[in-house]
Amino acid sequence: MTAAVLFDYGGVLTPSGTAGSHAAMLSAQLGVPIAAESIEDLHRDFRVDAISAGAFVAAVHARVPERRRDLDEHTWPWPGLLRRHQRIYDLAFRLRKHGIRTGILSNVWLPIARSLARAGSYDGFDPLVLSCEAGCAKPDPAIYHLALERLGLAAGDVLFVDDQPRHLAAAAGVGMQTLLATGEAQVVRDLATRLALDMFGAPLEHDPHETPFDLDRRGTSLREAE
């Protein structure tokens, strides 16, 4: 029985924010390419709010003296992070309608988290377990345990969806169910297939062209035919 689904944000609820994308986005702002490894320690500290945005910007500037432009934290998040995988949002809504809780478990910088919250990107998801507020980040087991504590559920009753295998391995290590996200249609298809018994009481054969609302209508018809 799956009682809750936790979604990563980057690479799952949005096509942006995948592994290493922070370096690409900073490179675009700075006007010169930078390698993710060159700022990995700063990224690691910033995502758990161990350093302020100002300190992060100053440290990046010190490491990239050849930059063409300065970073401006007020332009975060980058536009791509506000793009939605709308079919996954729609499916999350339908899951909630069927009593399956949905939350977000995400590694994220505090300024970006605040902007996403203002934009409504987190609306409807509870709990929100964000690295910048938790003080720890995936794949640290502590953040998964925090999510379970906030849900008040056993690990085996929670399904975690992420686009990074190492984050899924850590989730499996604490006992969660896992699903690797490789694209919007795949996540919708695989979640609908795996959760059909919990939502509708019977498995569904899935048409890849169906929307989450089509699945919900077909599941309702299936229940009524019993």
Eight-state DSSP code of residue 179? E
Q: How high is the pLDDT of residue 80? A: 80
Largest CA distance in the chain: 69
Give the number of other Cβ atoms within 10 Å of residue 213's Cβ: 13
Alpha helices in the chain (DSSP H): 21-30, 40-47, 53-63, 86-97, 110-118, 131-134, 141-151, 165-173, 184-200, 212-224
Stretch 150-161: mean pLDDT? 98
Stretch 115-124: mean pLDDT? 95
Residue with tokens 């795996």: 194
Eight-state DSSP code of residue 138? T
Eight-state DSSP code of residue 207? P
Q: How high is the pLDDT of residue 196? A: 82
Stretch 85-114: mean pLDDT? 95
Q: How high is the pLDDT of residue 226? A: 41
How far is residue 22's CA from residue 81's CA, in Å, rounded to a whole number? 11
- Indicate the pLDDT class of residue 224, thresholds 50, 70 and 90: very low
**Sequence letter at residue 50:** A
Pick the CATH number of 4-16+84-224 from 3.40.50.1000, 1.10.10.1100, 1.20.1280.50, 3.40.50.620: 3.40.50.1000
pTM comes to 0.86
How far is residue 100's CA from residue 94's CA, in Å, rounded to a whole number? 9
Query: Is residue 101 helix, strand or coil?
Result: strand
How far is residue 162's CA from residue 171's CA, in Å, rounded to a whole number? 10
- pLDDT of residue 61 exceeding 70: yes
Q: Is 75 exposed, middle or buried (0-12, 13-18, 19+ CB in 10 A)?
A: exposed
Q: How high is the pLDDT of residue 208? A: 47
List 101's β-bridge partners, or say none.
4
Q: What are phi and psi of 137, to 5 degrees?
A: -140, 155
Looking at the chain, the domain(s) classified CATH 3.40.50.1000 span 4-16+84-224
Give the chain's mean pLDDT: 88
Stretch 76-89: mean pLDDT? 86
The winner for highest mean pLDDT among 13-17, 32-36, 172-176 is 172-176
Stretch 41-50: mean pLDDT? 96
